[in-house]
Structure 1
Amino acid sequence: MQLGKAVRMERIMNRNNGRTIVVPIDHGVTVGPIYGLVDLRDTVNRVADGGANAMLMHKGIPRCSHRNYGSDIGLIIHLSASTSLSPYPNAKTLVATVEDALKLGADAVSLHINLGDETEPQMLADLGYVCSEAAEWGMPVLAMMYARGPKVEDEYAPDVVKQCARVGVELGADIVKVNYTGDPESFSEVVAGACGVPVVIAGGPRLDSDKDLVQMVYDSIQAGGSGLSVGRNIFQHADPARIVAALSKIVHEDANVETAMAAL
């Protein structure tokens, strides 16, 4: 691995166990300034105080959210987007470049790919292109890999999630983000199929309880996962710092569910 890439990976992944807590706040493009994403600086402060490893956002947001002191949380710039107003919301298009991210001092870039969508060929081409460009600069790539399209019956099915993770690895991603399959046994197969590339889980829609989130993260770690990239279940939480701190006990301290819940 290039030295530059290794240094950047260390900023967003725990150097002791290779795990991470990423909090994406890229939702403003997709659905607008929803609860938790109005006062962005406050959100970033709370998440950083809880011990997250990195924030993920579009290129225009660092100017609204930079902490102005220290560099205690990594920055991942998201390069693709679509809106809920579009008749093709699953069609992600490139809206930024690796060089944009470098100019912002980012530690990594990310893309969202929806396998099975009618525009899959262009999204795959974008992923391949960005991975090649990022490799030239020593910039890590996080690929958000989902299956969403007319032929996809269940985007959480183990075989579907396994293919999502593998596509990201095959095209050069350094970290892949996928849906959790629902149980440690099947998710361990997803991790095994990723050929040693870190696999992190998505949070998806708001869960019914903190216990559900903590249990999901715990189970994914037991299956060999490398952490999480969770947005709404963190930044829309009543206390983002506290939920991040609880999840950190599992991801970075190998705590059990009961210990993590006690932190809440």
Structure 2
Amino acid sequence: MSEIGKKIRLERIMDRESRNMVIIPMDHGISMGPVRGIVNLAEMVNRVADGGANAVLLQKGMAKHGHRGYGRDIGLIIHMSASTSLGPDPNDKVQVCTVEEAIKMGADAVSVHVNIGSVTESKQLKKLGDVAEFCDYWGMPLIAMMYPRGKDIKNSNDAELVAHVARVGAELG
């Protein structure tokens, strides 16, 4: 486990005084198609950096097109999961990037999306566990984006359900 690597990367995406983070997700193009406002990625990255954001969260392909905007210093978080709204099961998230790829791109952290309650929940949980192991090995911070989603989820905002889903993410790394 590389704790110093994780510490250095976390310092790049948080305010060193307050230890707060403002992360702007810009990864929704895969699931939703082109998103108005982030067509010119470099310009939008500059705007959120000027507004005080510490990091942007992108898919690997978009990171190559302007995560630093026009030179602004802002952290990079690579989202490693994807599905589209056009597929047979939008809740079936698959891994589309590796921790090693994210490191090569200069990422400061990675994120994985898991839908608890989905038909493919067990596969997604296994993948989160695998990614957590690689993150520990490489000293890469991991954000587990945990959501209660599936055909049997009646109220995804139920406090007990949200607490359970959050606990699953914490338990797996």
TM-score (norm 2): 0.95
Displacement of 1:18: 2.5
Please give the alpha-carbon distance, in whole angstroms, between the structure 1 residues aligned to 2:71 and 2:41: 15
Amino acid at match of 1:19: N
Structure 2 match to 1:19: 20
Map of 1:259 onto structure 2: none
| Residue equivalent to 1:256 | none
Secondary structure at 1:159 match in 2: helix
State the distance in 2 between where 1:160 and 1:15 align: 33
Q: How far is the alpha carbon of 1:152 from its aligned partner?
A: 1.1
Gaps of 5+ in 1: 173-264
Letter in 1 for 2:137: E
Other structure's SS at 1:163 match: helix
Corresponding residue for residue 39 of structure 1: 40
Cα pair 2:59 2:80 within 8 Å, conserved: yes
Residue 60 of structure 2 corresponds to residue 97 of structure 1: no
Residue number in structure 1 paired with 2:135: 134
Instruction: Using the TM superposition, give the Cα deviation of residue 67 of structure 1 relative to its aligned residue in structure 2, in angstroms.
Output: 2.3
Shift of 1:16: 2.4
Counterpart position of 1:229 = none
Letter in 1 for 2:159: P
Gaps of 5+ in 2: none
| 1:29 alignment partner in structure 2 | 30
Per mean C-alpha deviation after superposition, the further-off stretch among 28-37 and 84-93 is 28-37
Written as runs of structure 1 = structure 2, the 5 A alignment for 1:19-168 is 19-65=20-66, 66-70=68-72, 72-168=73-169
For 2:113 and 2:55, locate their aligned partners in 1 and report how far apart those are by CA, in whole Å: 17
The answer as to whether partners of 2:43 and 2:70 remain within 8 angstroms in 1 is no
Q: Which residue type is aligned with residue 143 of structure 1?
A: A
Stretch deviating more after TM superposition (13-22 or 157-166): 13-22
Structural RMSD (CA): 1.2
Task: Give secondary structure in 2 for the equivalent of 1:56.
Answer: strand
How has the CA–CA distance of structure 1 residues 157 and 24 changed in structure 2, closer, same or farther, with 3 Å as cutoff? same
- Taking every aligned residue pair, what percent have the same amino acid on both sides? 51
- Provide the rounded CA distance (Å) in 1 between the counterparts of 2:109 and 2:166: 18
Q: How many residues align?
A: 171
Could you say which residue in structure 2 is the equivalent of 1:201? Answer: none
Contact in 2 for aligned 1:90/1:114 (Cα 8 Å): yes
Partner of 1:213: none
Q: Secondary structure in 2 aligned to 1:122?
A: helix
Give the Å deviation of 1:68. 4.5
C-alpha separation in 2, matches of 1:56 and 1:102: 14
* SS state at 2:42 partner: helix
What TM-score do you get using the length of structure 1 for normalisation? 0.63
Residue identity in the other structure for 1:168: G
Contact 2:42 2:70 in 1 (8 A): no
Check conservation: 1:98, 1:130, Cα contact below 8 A. yes
Q: Which amino acid is the alignment partner of residue 21 of structure 1?
A: V
Is the Cα–Cα contact under 8 Å of residues 36 and 43 in structure 1 kept in the other structure?
yes
Q: Which amino acid aligns with 1:132?
A: E
- How far residue 17 of structure 1 moved from its aligned partner, in angstroms, is 2.8
